[in-house]
Each structure stands twice: as structure tokens, then as C-alpha cells.
Amino acid sequence: MNTAILKHKCLATGIHLSLSLAVFAVALYLILAVWYPGLLFHIDGGWQGVRIMIAVDLVLGPLLTFIVFNPSKPKREIKLDLSLIALVQIAALCWGFWAVNHVKPLALAYGNGAFQSVVAEELEIQEQSPADIENFGPSPVLIFGREPANGEESAGVAAYEMLEGIPPSKLVFLWEPLTDNMDAVEALSADALKQEFPDKADAIEQLPGKLVRFQGRYGYGVMALSESGEWLDSLVLTTY
């Protein structure tokens, strides 16, 4: 490969990478600020989604451009090559967006001493949709999962838990607004947390309000809530 061709390849790849960075910036904003705020990014799927975006948007597309682009080809062939690369990248990026959006937390449901995220698939199993829970508030909404009130509800809880692996706190028919049930939410001791995680003692000390456990899909953290149930802050404690 001569120097002139390499120079043109690098230029084309740089242009492609710049455009990809702009798209990635929009995706990153959605993931960090809207879909996976706070500790959700680190321990409940946000970082895994970003890795998909990096692989597709910042690696796959520019790499294909570097491999395929050749200024000595006829212009029509160059346009065809770049169009095919764009189609492949757009298709992969759309799949990545769908995958990340599909598993984003729609609700954070409290039960058994901890919050857990509720995703679209878990609602679909219950024949519910994101629109059906909008009355509780904007996503991801904080929810309290109450105890079953009668035998029929207890049977439903047992069926979902045994057949679908869905814990009681994620069952919509048991949901109540968190604001009405803050007295029933178990608070963690800041002193106990500082002893267990001495390297995070300063960060724990800075957390305001009531500290409540959050059990993520990829780690464990703590959420800081106001007396009225507003999410004030959060801290990741462990990842896996």
C-alpha cells in the first residue's frame, strides 16, 4: 500500500469516525441521562449497552471504511462501497439501540429489603406494557411491592415465582406508590456500610436521606431517598 492511498484511507476513516462520534454522543446521553440514570448505568445494564454502541459505532463502521475505501477505484464503486458500509452500520446500530432500550429499567420496585429493576419483558409476561404503568410516574419510577392481601393474590405470586422466576416485588398487581409506603422501606445503616466498604466511607458519608439497598443485574449499590420517596443520589458498592 503506497503512502497516498494510506493517507486517503486514514482521511476517509477519520471523517467516518467523526460522524460516528456524533451519533455515539447522542446515544450516550440517552443511556446516561434518560434510560440508565445514576447507579443503573454501572450495575444494571447501561455499561453493557455502551459497549455494544462502541463496538458497532466506533469500531465496526470506521474499520470497514479503512479496509474497503480505495481512492483509485471508480467513483461509482466508491459510493457503492460506502453506501453498503453505511447500511451495515445503521442496521447494527438500530439493533444495538433496540437491545439497549428493550432491557432498560422501566421501574425500580422495592421488596424484600431492596430495589430491583423491572424491564419490558417482565411486564410482557404479566400482559402489561410500559403504558400500563405510566400512572405511577415517569420511567424509571420507584415502586413499592406490597404483601399479597388474600389467597388469590398469594396463588398468583407463587405461580409467577415458580413458573416465570418473577419475584413478588415485580408483580404489577401488588404495586403501590412508594411515597405512601416509605415507613415500610428498610433503611441501611451508614456506619455498617462504612465498615463493610471502608474504601467508600467518604462517599457513603456524603449520601443524603434514607439509604436503601439496590440489587442490580451486574452489582449491588445503595440509593439515597428523601422522606417522601424521591431519589436523591446513589452509590455503586460492588460490581460483578
Any bridge partners for residue 108, and if so which?
117, 142
- Answer whether 116's CB lies under 8 Å from 131's CB: no
Per-residue pLDDT tens, the chain, 240 aa: give them: 678 888 888 988 898 889 889 988 998 999 999 999 999 999 999 998 888 888 878 888 888 889 888 888 888 988 898 888 888 888 888 888 888 888 999 999 999 999 999 999 999 999 999 999 999 999 999 999 999 999 999 999 999 999 999 999 999 999 999 999 999 999 999 999 999 999 999 999 999 999 999 999 999 999 999 999 999 999 999 998
**Strand-strand pairing, 219-225 and 210-215:** antiparallel
Q: Of all helices (H) and strands (E), which one includes residue 96?
A: helix 75-102
Instruction: Give 47's contacts (C-beta < 8 A, 6+ positions apart).
Output: 41, 218
N residues, the chain: 240
186: DSSP letter: P
Across the chain, how many H-helices and E-strands are there?
Answer: 9, 7
Any bridge partners for residue 48, and if so which?
none
Integer Cα distance of 79 and 135 in angstroms: 50
